[in-house]
């Protein structure tokens, strides 16, 4: 099992550029999440999805968009990148029912210059 | 929404000593409390979790306690080793959907 796979691992963007962070999981999890991790600030939820075709905003959604066309994939889109979006991004997934473990991808370190 | 506070933000202990990290949460409906360990440059990984119907759970050198009345839970690491050095995150969730994370504790075990 690959678990949760994110690409790319590193990326440098110029201000105003756009990009998509890819996330795929092979555990047939219904729930998927995108977090950003800033130094000393913990993990902040950007968007989450409870199943294919359903997405919802988390704590810090501004400047991002997501889609969930399949159970496996949950890409995060950055439009008009800003320096404030410099961060480490983690995708995660979990089963829907009950309190269960969230499995994380390896992270994407994004720098906007 | 839920608010999870975590203390301390940094913790240094001598090898062999115990380490305790504490978290509080605000939403009494939260019923699942995982702890994650994140080594430098790596992904967070679950080390132990506890559900609201349990007061304590232990796994070798790691234990978690939960006080629902006071809405706080703690991670206890005994006989610490250098490989325990990492950032530890607590989290709270309701039925496993949204997770709310604490701000993390950077633990350093001094050989």
Q: Which residue of B has its CA nearest to A51?
A: B97
Residue B76 bridge partners (DSSP): B20, B63
Q: What is the pLDDT of residues A53-97, one digit of tens each?
A: 999 999 899 999 999 999 999 999 999 999 999 999 999 998 865
**Chain A residues touching B96 at Cβ < 8 A:** 31, 94-100
Cβ contact, residue pair A43, B1, below 8 Å = no
Q: Which residue of A has its CA nearest to B42?
A: A106
Taking residues A42-60, report their average pLDDT: 92
Question: Between β-strands B10-14 and B105-110, what pairing exists: parallel, antiparallel or unpaired?
Answer: parallel
Q: What is the pLDDT of residues B26-41, one digit of tens each?
A: 999 999 999 999 999 8
**Chain A residues touching B90 at Cβ < 8 A:** none
pLDDT of A107 over the 80 cut: yes
Cβ contact, residue pair A33, B99, below 8 Å = yes
Question: Between β-strands B4-7 and B56-59, what pairing exists: parallel, antiparallel or unpaired?
Answer: unpaired
Distance from CA of A18 to the nearest CA of B (A): 25
Q: B69 is written with which tokens?
A: 């009345």
pLDDT at A1: 65
Interface test with B, best of A43, A44, A46 (most B CBs within 10 A): A43
Contact, B100 vs A60, CB < 8 A? no
pLDDT of A32 over the 80 cut: yes
DSSP state of B25: E
Cβ contact, residue pair A99, B103, below 8 Å = no
Q: Which residues of chain B have pLDDT under 50?
A: none
pLDDT of A40 over the 90 cut: no
Cβ contact, residue pair A90, B44, below 8 Å = yes
pLDDT of A99 over the 90 cut: no
Question: Between β-strands A10-13 and A108-112, what pairing exists: parallel, antiparallel or unpaired?
Answer: parallel
pLDDT at B60: 96
pLDDT at A96: 66
- Of B64, B53, B99, the residue nearest A94 (C-alpha): B99
Distance from CA of B24 to the nearest CA of A (A): 15
Residue B72 bridge partners (DSSP): B24, B67
- Residue-averaged pLDDT of chain A: 92
pLDDT at B41: 87
Confirm or reject contact between B102 and chain A (CB < 8 A): yes
Query: What whole-number percentage of chain A has pLDDT above 90?
Result: 82
């Amino acid at each position: 099992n690959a678990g949760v796979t994110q690409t790319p691992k590193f990326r440098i963007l110029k201000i105003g550029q756009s990009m998509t962070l890819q996330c795929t999981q092979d555990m047939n999890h219904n729930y998927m999440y995108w977090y950003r991790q800033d130094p000393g600030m913990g993990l902040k939820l950007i968007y989450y999805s409870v199943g294919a075709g359903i997405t919802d905003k988390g704590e810090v959604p501004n400047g991002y968009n997501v889609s969930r066309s399949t159970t496996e994939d949950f890409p995060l889109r950055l439009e008009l990148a800003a320096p404030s979006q410099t961060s480490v991004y983690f995708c995660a997934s979990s089963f829907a029912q009950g309190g269960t473990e969230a499995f994380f991808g390896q992270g994407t370190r994004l720098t906007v210059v | 929404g839920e608010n999870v506070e975590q203390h301390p933000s940094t913790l240094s202990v001598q090898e062999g000593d115990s380490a305790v990290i504490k978290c509080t949460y605000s939403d009494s409906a939260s019923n699942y409390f995982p702890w994650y360990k994140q080594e430098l440059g790596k992904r967070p990984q679950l080390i132990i979790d506890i559900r609201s119907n349990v007061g304590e759970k232990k796994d070798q050198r790691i234990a978690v306690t939960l006080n629902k009345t006071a809405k706080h839970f703690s991670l206890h690491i005994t006989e610490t080793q250098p490989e325990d050095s990492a950032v530890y995150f607590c989290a709270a969730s309701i039925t496993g959907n949204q997770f709310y994370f604490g701000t993390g504790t950077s633990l350093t075990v001094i050989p």
